C-alpha cells in the first residue's frame, strides 16, 4: 500500500515565525500536493509538484512556499506565519504527469498560529 | 463560480438504506476521483473513475462526462459508512491539478 508520511502531526507556532511542514512518500510518484482543509472551504490546493526540483502554484499560494528537493520529499514553508494560516494541512502523492491513478494522502498536520 | 459542486451537503440514513451522492462539475475534466474521510481523519481513495461505472463492494461510482456529473452509490448502508465523501476532478488542460468539492457528510444511524 502506498505510504505518505507527514511531520509534525501537530504544530503550534507564533505569529511571524517560520514554519516548515514536511512530507515523505515511498510510492515513487512524480506528483505531490499540499492542501489545506477548513470548515466551509473544503480542501484547497496550495502548491504542487511534478517531480524533483519543480513546484507549481495551486489555487491559494499566497503566504506559502514549497520545496521539492527529491522525488520522495515535498515541504511546505510558511516564512511569516499568520493566524489565518491556522488549519489542517494535507500532503498527497499520485501519478506521473497527468493523474492516472489514485491519490494517496498523509494523515494531516494540525497547525495553530497564535 | 465553484467548479465542483456536491449534493446533498449532508445526509442522515437508517442502517440498511441506500445513498446516492452527486458531484457536478462545470468544466471539462481529465479524471474524477472519490474519497472518504472519517471525522478528524485523513482521506482514503475510493474510486478513480474518469468515465463509466466502477464497483467496489457496496459502492458504485458512475461518471457521465457529457452530463458533467459523477455519482457515488452506497447500498445497504452501515454505521461504519458515516463520514464525509468528497469528489475531486482534474480539470481538462490543467495537468494533474485536482480540485475538490466541499463534500457530503453522511451519518448512518443504527
In tens digits, chain A (114 residues) has pLDDT values of: 669 999 999 999 999 999 999 999 998 888 899 999 998 888 999 999 989 999 999 999 999 999 999 999 999 999 999 999 999 999 999 875 555 567 889 999 999 999
Give the span between the Cα atoms of B43 and B32, in whole angstroms: 15
Nearest to B42 among A97, A100, A108 (CB): A108
Chain A residue closest in CA terms to B95: A98
User: Residue A107: left if φ>0, alpha if ψ -120 to 50, beta else—which one?
Assistant: alpha
The fraction of chain B above a pLDDT of 90, given in percent, is 63
- Cβ–Cβ < 8 Å for B101, A42: yes
Give the span between the Cα atoms of A93 and A84, in whole angstroms: 26
| Of B37, B40, B69, B34, residue with least CA distance to B55 | B34
- Cβ–Cβ < 8 Å for A107, A91: no
Longest dimension (CA), chain B: 45
What's the pLDDT at A52? 95
Show the CA angle centred on residue A61, arms to residues B105 and A84, nearest 5°.
65
Backbone angles phi, psi at A83, to 5 degrees: -55, -30
Q: What is the dihedral of CA A84, A58, A92, A70, to 10 degrees?
A: -110
Give the span between the Cα atoms of A108 and B106, in whole angstroms: 21
Q: B73: distance to nearest CA of chain A, Å?
A: 19
Contact B31 A45 (CB under 8 A): no
Nearest to A102 among B48, B97, B103 (CB): B48
Query: For B39-84, what is each residue's pLDDT tens digit?
Result: 888 899 999 888 899 999 999 999 998 888 999 999 999 999 999 9
The fraction of chain B above a pLDDT of 70, given in percent, is 93
Q: Is A9 on the interface with B (CB under 8 A)?
A: no
DSSP B16: T
Q: Read off the pLDDT band of B89 (50, 70, 90).
A: confident
Interface of B to A at Cβ within 8 Å reads 30-31, 33, 35, 41-45, 48, 86, 88, 90, 95-103
Contacts of A97 in chain B (CB under 8 A): 95-96
Nearest to A103 among B30, B33, B101 (CB): B33
What's the pLDDT at A100? 55
Helices (H), A3-114: none
What's the pLDDT at A102? 78
Q: A55: distance to nearest CA of chain B, Å?
A: 12
Amino acid at each position: 500500500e502506498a505510504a505518505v508520511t507527514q511531520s509534525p502531526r501537530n504544530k503550534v507556532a507564533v505569529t511571524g515565525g517560520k514554519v516548515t511542514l514536511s512530507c515523505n512518500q515511498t510510492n515513487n510518484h512524480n506528483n505531490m500536493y499540499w492542501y489545506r482543509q477548513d470548515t466551509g472551504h473544503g480542501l484547497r490546493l496550495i502548491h504542487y509538484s511534478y517531480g524533483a526540483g519543480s513546484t507549481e502554484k495551486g489555487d491559494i499560494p499566497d503566504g506559502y512556499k514549497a520545496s521539492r528537493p527529491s522525488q520522495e520529499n515535498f515541504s511546505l514553508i510558511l516564512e511569516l506565519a499568520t493566524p489565518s494560516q491556522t488549519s489542517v494541512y494535507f500532503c498527497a502523492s499520485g501519478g506521473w504527469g497527468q493523474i492516472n491513478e489514485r491519490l494517496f494522502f498523509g494523515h494531516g498536520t494540525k497547525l495553530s498560529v497564535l | 463560480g465553484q467548479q465542483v459542486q456536491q449534493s446533498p451537503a449532508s445526509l442522515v440514513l437508517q442502517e440498511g438504506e441506500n445513498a446516492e451522492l452527486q458531484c457536478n462539475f462545470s468544466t471539462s475534466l481529465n479524471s474524477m476521483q472519490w474519497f472518504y474521510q472519517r471525522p478528524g481523519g485523513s482521506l482514503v481513495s475510493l474510486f478513480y473513475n474518469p468515465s463509466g461505472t466502477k464497483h467496489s463492494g457496496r459502492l458504485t461510482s458512475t461518471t457521465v462526462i457529457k452530463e458533467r456529473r459523477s455519482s457515488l452509490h452506497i447500498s445497504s448502508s452501515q454505521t461504519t459508512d458515516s463520514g464525509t465523501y468528497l469528489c475531486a476532478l482534474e480539470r481538462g488542460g490543467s495537468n494533474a491539478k485536482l480540485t475538490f468539492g466541499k463534500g457530503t457528510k453522511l451519518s448512518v444511524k443504527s
